[in-house]
Amino acid sequence: MRALTVIPLQAGSAAVVDLPEPEPGPGELLVEVAACGVCRTDLHIAEGELEAPLPIVPGHEVIGRVAARGPDATRFAEGCRVGVPWLARTCGRCRYCRQGTENLCDSPAFTGFTRDGGFATHLVADDRFCFTLPDAFGDVAAAPLLCAGLIGWRALKLAGDGERLGLYGFGAAAHILAQVAVWQGRRVHAFTRPGDRDGQAFARSLGCAWAGGSDEAPPEALDAAILFAPAGALVPQALKRVRKGGRVICAGIHMSDIPSFRYELLWGERHVRSVANLTRRDGEELLALAPRVPVRTEVETYPLEEAGEALGRLRAGAVRGAAVLAVGGR
């Protein structure tokens, strides 16, 4: 099989190589990849900001079809289309798994981080953690839902029911979440890099009530703000914009250091909270909701061999919406 592999001891280096086709073990599926989203987490892994066991094949927004089944893999028939997300496996035994917060499992596995992911023609996945996909979405259009959408959805649930929502970093996750929040009747305020007029226009085209730079004040105090940009300096900025009792949700797996800030920004029972991974219930909820909105994912497509270029454009903040590798789908 063909795969893009992040190379050991060379942060930022990757190569498209030929690897043996994996074989599914008990309870596993061999998935022929049709499309795979390019997530900022993949960039963090490629650049060594997240220490994955290398070499590793990144990619955890995977759409594909079941090519073979291992023993006891009974949920999906061969030929079925499935989605393979970031959460690849949990132990099912620790206190978090037992209390319904499997996203906090003590012994998890993650697609494209601790086991090979979807920047490849094939991958192996646990059939219990794969998703059935709505027919309304083609392969490429569905890929960003598998992480950008799912993490955004979990972040939105943690943000609460407030009507005035701020989104910092208007990329893959925010452009999906904005559509959901507007559909719910919320007033969405989009914060982009200062001076990013194109990004702000994109946000307004999706129904955002206001769009401006991250250094600007919105026209009203926010009930909650969700940070998708991995910049710790935005935490005190967001705290300035939320009302008393408001929430600031940090939705990334990696963030630069949060600078010190005055206690008065936190006072007034404001909350700062992180989002960690996802649960299977999060996925089922979002994938059932997305066709009802309906969510329209905006994507830039690349062949597998140009995955490095896609990561570079993501690093530069040049991607409008989401980047997706079109491996074998449409």
Extract the tokens encoding 2.
């063909």
CATH domain 149-274 topology: Rossmann fold (3.40.50)
- Bridge partners, residue 274, by sequence: 250
Per-residue pLDDT band at 25 (split at 50, 70, 90): very high
Summarize the confidence of residues 71-76 as an average pLDDT. Answer: 97
Do residues 106 and 94 touch, judged by C-beta distance below 8 A? Answer: yes
Per-residue pLDDT tens over the stretch 223-263: 999 999 999 999 999 999 999 999 999 999 999 999 999 99
* Residues found in the chain: 330
CATH domain 2-146+278-326 topology: Quinone Oxidoreductase; Chain A, domain 1 (3.90.180)
Does residue 294 have a cis bond before it (omega within 30 degrees)? yes
Phi-psi region of 243 (alpha: psi -120 to 50; beta: other; left: phi over 0): beta
Separation of alpha carbons 327 and 30, rounded Å: 15
Extract the tokens encoding 85.
């997300």
Separation of alpha carbons 311 and 44, rounded Å: 10
Spans of all domains in the chain? 2-146+278-326, 149-274
Compute the Cα dihedral for 236, 204, 311, 330 and give only its sign. Answer: positive
